[in-house]
Amino acid sequence: MSLKSWAVAAATVALLAVGAPASAATSTIDGSYAFNGNGWAGTLLVSGSASGAPAITMHYTELGRDERLTGSWSAASRTLTINRPLQWNNSQTYTLYLGDHKPNQPVFGGYFTQSDVPGQRYGVYAKDYLPLGTPRTKLFKANDSLPDDLVGFYGFNGNGWTGTMSVQFTQCRVPEINLRYDELGRTEPIAQRTWDPATHTLTFVRPLSFGGVTQTYTLYFANRLQSTQMFGGYFTQSDVPGQRYAAFAFLQPGGVGC
């Protein structure tokens, strides 16, 4: 957020809203992450990011192999880009935006595109950061008892701020969103929201509590299996033009609906 907005926010601590940090809180993005691309779970390993051309290893659990990939890291735009070649001369391009509200606990949210599906974006997130050399023991196993629908109760992360997001329908047609950031301790009903079934994109606007500032969230939905409801994407903030911040959501038990 701008220095002016930050000063206003600091003077109204009781009304503080989640926003962009004045400076990055993450010293490095090198490490391993729990990873999800369009409902496919796995891990992501990043090293050598300071060079701007990190070494990247992607492992999708269902494929059962490590993929050594190329990419780029821009500290200025806080964007990690990954190039993943596929068979038959197709490819995927991952665009991931950093969230670093919690010091040294980076997360990423964004999307990938695929060369043989022009115009479509698929949600991606990377979370549960571990420094390089730290073993990751958690297994990512599907729970196919969860409902296969957009409606549900999700764990949520926006720029490193954790919370929850509930999605329910009015007459099962219009998305209704309630957002709760844990550190703020309140539930925020979202009035402006759209759902595009053609591109599986959920968009909503979140007004902040100072200066008429708003955040616009763009989240790409995946539900390829009953257990893989997730969103990956980003938000922008009206007083920080041109910057995108990680945002993602993952399904939790206790869904809501019609």
Look at residue 45 and give its three-state secondary structure. Answer: strand
CB 128, CB 34: distance < 8 Å: yes
Per-residue pLDDT of 186-244, as tens digits, reads: 999 887 788 888 888 999 999 997 788 999 999 999 877 656 789 999 999 999 999 99
Structure-token pair, residue 238: 């009206």
- Can you give the pTM of this predicted structure? 0.77
CA 199 to the chain's CA centroid? 17
Alpha-carbon span 150 to 165, nearest angstrom: 12
What CATH class has 31-130? Answer: mainly beta
Among the residue ranges 44-48, 226-230, 244-248, the one predicted with the least confidence is 226-230
What CATH class has 3-11+141-252? Answer: mainly beta
Residues of the chain with CATH 2.40.128.30: 31-130
Please give the pLDDT value at position 221: 92
Residues of the chain with CATH 2.40.128.120: 3-11+141-252
> What's the average model confidence in pLDDT over 29-43?
94
Structure-token pair, residue 35: 């990873």
The structure tokens 């990873």 sit at: 35
Query: Count of CB atoms within 10 A of residue 220's CB?
Result: 25
Alpha-carbon span 160 to 24, nearest angstrom: 11
At 60, the pLDDT band (50, 70, 90 cuts) reads very high
DSSP secondary structure letters along 159-195:
TTEEEEEEEEEETTTEEEEEEEETTTTEEEEE-EEEE
Average pLDDT, the chain: 83
The structure tokens 């809180």 sit at: 25
Q: What are the residues facing 179 on neighbouring strands?
A: 165, 188
Per-residue pLDDT of 83-108, as tens digits, reads: 999 988 899 999 999 999 999 999 99
CB 160, CB 99: distance < 8 Å: yes
Query: Is the confidence at residue 21, as pLDDT, over 60?
Result: no
- Supply φ then ψ for residue 14, to 5 degrees: -65, -20
